[in-house]
Amino acid sequence: MINYEEELKKFKPLLDVDEVEDAIYSRDLTDVIDILKEMLKMNHDIKHDQGADLMKCMNCGAVVHDAKTCPECGFDLEVQMHSLQLSVQYYNQGLDKAEIRDLSGAIELLRRSLRFNKLNIPARNLLGLVYFETGEAVSALSEWIISKNIMPDQNVATSYIQELQSEPAKLNMINQTIKKYNIALKCCREGNEDVAAIQLKKILNQNPKLIKGYHLLALIYLKREEYEKARKILKKAMRIDKTNATSLRFLKEVDDQTGTVTSLEPRKFFRSKREEKPEGRKESDGMTVISPPTFRETSVAATLLNIGLGLIVGGLMVWFLLVPSIKQGINRDANEKIVEYSNTMASQKAKISDLNDKIKKSEDTVASAQQQINEASEKSTAYENLMKANSSYKDGKYEQAAKALEGMNTELLSADAKEIYDKIYGSVQTTMFTQLKSAGQEAFDKEDYEEAIDKLTKAREIKENDYAVLNLLAHSYRNIGDTQNAIENFQEIVDKFPKTKRANSAKGYIDKLQGNTSTPDDSDDDD
């Protein structure tokens, strides 16, 4: 029994016209003579002289006519001559096969012919014709183009190519059917046999020579167990190529499953001729016996009854035969419409998805570009401030240098720039600390506690063990009601200045902030 999945693997996508150039370049044009030349380690140029009975020695290139040995180098030419003779022989056999429409057999023999002599122009041109007859226009074009390149002048392949080019609509139609065949094959591999079957029917209406299209459609019918449909399709394929191995194998499966041998002969409609005998004649022991005719009386009632019964039987036949057929047709049309609409919807969904992807990519691109712009702007500002700081530092204006470095994002600087920053920062950080501490104290005195926190936090980053900064920062947080940060800063004083009045005062504020009513010691004196 035929395995659908295994058979499907044997089907390969067909090349469309757009790929004809690639098909030519990827073609292996090695023949036996090339192999012999490789074995001999020779690289002589063997040219084909159409219309002249000339053969050139593959060893030295000298014209040898029918000689068995080369008159120039003495090389034994029997193998070379045998190769050319075999090429001609296979060509003639392929021609015979083609004439009786054994196209698959012709293809195999013509390929053999070219394996023995790739310069056999008649064989290559005929192979192109056979390919074209099986609906494979690309393979045909490939052979004709190769043929024309081997022999540019007086080559019938030129007319074949020109004929195709003169009918661009036909060529485009063939090309479209090949593309649709590839889509149908893809649908089969994705499990969408219904869509593939509809597509293949349309393809075969446009390109009725596409053998592989018949085979794929027949395989779908075999999977569905619609054997009579498969038989019908395969018989059409057999009219194009009588001995195709795939057609014969699929037909055998149909015959095995149905128990009926497929007849490949065309139907003949004729009347059986029976010997007409005079009424009343009987044959008896070789003698003719004349009997009187028998008459049967028929009443009017009986006649009407027979008519009535006939109408009833006819109606029932219509109901049992015609109505299911109509329903089947309606259902089939409906299924086709559903599949068609599904395809349209799938296509629209694909387009929408593609547009959404493009929109998303555009948005991502815009966002990325904006981010890059922001980073570039920030980086530019950082370098400008660094240049200002460096200039002020060299002029001895340390306060200005410190101000330029304030709040700079050093991650945006290169290694060399970071080195300059560290050098300037190390020199001016004392100045910066003093400025920030003074600014923080000034803001605190003005009860601008948010500004005080900002300045004092930056000052602590430069010098983390300064009591005045920590104390002012803690009280700033306390005054704005940020208990958590206030406690953390008071605790930092306790940790950094243990066993001092500063620590005791800070602990008193911690207790108060935590709900203890004890009065803290505000003395800032050290023990």
Q: Tell me the per-residue pLDDT of 253-277, one tens digit each, with 9 for 90 and over.
A: 999 998 888 877 655 444 443 333 3
Over 60: is that where the pLDDT of 303 sits? no
Query: What's the rounded Cα separation, in Å, for the pair 458 and 434?
Result: 11
Burial call 24-63: b when 16+ CB within 10 Å, e when fewer = beeeeeebbbeeebeeeeeeeeeeeeeeeeebbbbbebee
So where are the chain's domains?
4-171, 173-258, 404-513
Nearest to 135 by CA among 17, 264, 309, 303: 17
Please provide the size of the chain in residues: 527
Q: For residues 334 and 192, give the distance between their C-alpha atoms in angstroms, rounded to a whole number.
A: 17
**Torsion angle defined by CA atoms of residues 188, 191, 194 and 196, in that order, rounded to the nearest 10 degrees:** -20
pLDDT at residue 50, as a whole number: 38
Reported as a single tens digit per residue, the pLDDT across 208-241 is 988 899 999 999 999 999 999 999 999 999 888 8
Tell me phi and psi for residue 61, to 5 degrees: 85, 5
Residues 37-46: what's their mean pLDDT? 44
Mean pLDDT of 476-504: 91
**Which one is predicted more confidently, 424 or 38?**
424
Confidence of residue 367 (pLDDT cuts 50, 70, 90): low
- Please tell me what DSSP assigns to residue 13: P
Inform me whether the pLDDT recorded for 477 exceeds 90: yes
Confidence band of 23 (pLDDT split at 50, 70, 90)? low
Q: Which residue has the higher pLDDT, 118 or 70?
A: 118
Q: What is the CATH number of domain 404-513?
A: 1.25.40.10
Residues 6 or more apart whose CB falls under 8 angstroms from that of 255 comprise: 261, 262
Phi, psi of 73 (to 5 degrees): -115, -5
For the chain, first and last CA: distance in Å?
A: 103
Residues 125-173 pLDDT 10s: 999 898 888 888 778 888 888 888 889 888 998 988 888 778 888 778 8
* Model confidence pTM above 0.85: no
Highest mean pLDDT among 72-86, 362-376, 381-395, 433-447: 433-447
- pLDDT at 471 (0 to 100): 93
38 pLDDT higher than 70? no
Kindly report the CATH number that applies to the domain delimited by 173-258. Answer: 1.25.40.10
State the chain's mean pLDDT as an integer. Answer: 75
What is the average pLDDT across 500-508?
90
CATH topology assigned to domain 4-171: 1.25.40
**pLDDT score, position 472:** 94
Most confident range, picked from 291-295, 315-319, 509-513: 509-513
3-state secondary structure 178-223: HHHHHHHHHHHHCCCHHHHHHHHHHHHHHCCCCHHHHHHHHHHHHH
Q: Which residues have CB under 8 Å from 388's CB, separation 6+?
A: 400, 401, 404
Is residue 18 within 8 Å of residue 175, measured between CB atoms? yes
The DSSP line for 424-451 is HHHHHHHHHHHHHHHHHHHHHHTT-HHH
| Per-residue pLDDT, 336 | 56
Same fold, 4-171 and 404-513: yes
C-alpha 387, offset from chain centre: 54
Higher pLDDT, 386 or 494: 494
Q: What tokens were used for 442? A: 């000034």
Question: Poorest-confidence range of 12-26, 28-42, 222-236?
Answer: 28-42
Mean pLDDT, residues 295-301 taken together: 43
CB atoms within 10 A of CB 341: 10
- Cα–Cα distance, 12 to 24 (Å, whole number): 18
Say how many C-beta atoms besides its own lie within 10 A of residue 275's C-beta.
4
Q: Long-range CB contacts (< 8 A, 24+ apart) of 409-413?
A: 409/378, 409/382, 410/382, 412/375, 412/378, 412/379, 412/382, 413/382, 413/383, 413/386
